Amino acid sequence: MTASNHSIKSWVWLDGRRMKDREALHERLKVAFDFPDYYGRNLDALWDLLSTWGTPLDIFVMHTEELDNYGLGFLALLRELEKEQPRIRVYADTSHVLPQENSDMLYSV
């Protein structure tokens, strides 16, 4: 399933404790978003796939204090994506609105 094929509101939980370096971060993202095998495992590839996401998407990133500098770059990318793509909302270490019951969680990692 590719990012553009999602047809329902989705949300993803990401745990910074399990994304402590670049390799672990991209492995979690590939699984969480069900990215295709050709996913390049870098921030440019992440941008390319998420910027084509077809439906509303809430991304929750918890334990951001555990992220390394690369992980902080990942958070900056998400914030920039959120500005450019109104269907994507990002929550980092916050208790903002939780996903609604009619939302489908793609994956929790």
- In the chain, the number of structural domains is 1
Which of 13, 42, 10 lies closest to 27 in space, CA to CA? Answer: 42
39 domain residue, yes or no: yes
17 domain residue, yes or no: yes
pLDDT score recorded for residue 40: 97
102 domain residue, yes or no: no
pLDDT score recorded for residue 94: 58
What percent of the chain shows pLDDT beyond 70? 77
> What are 41-86's pLDDT values in tens digits?
999 999 999 999 989 999 999 999 999 999 999 999 999 999 999 9
56 domain residue, yes or no: yes
Domain ranges, residue 10: 3-96
Report how far residue 46's alpha carbon sits from residue 65's, in angstroms, rounded to the nearest whole number. 21
CATH number for 74: 3.30.370.10
* Residue 100 DSSP class: P
104 domain residue, yes or no: no
Does the pTM of the predicted model rise above 0.75? yes
103 domain residue, yes or no: no
What is the chain's mean pLDDT, rounded? 84
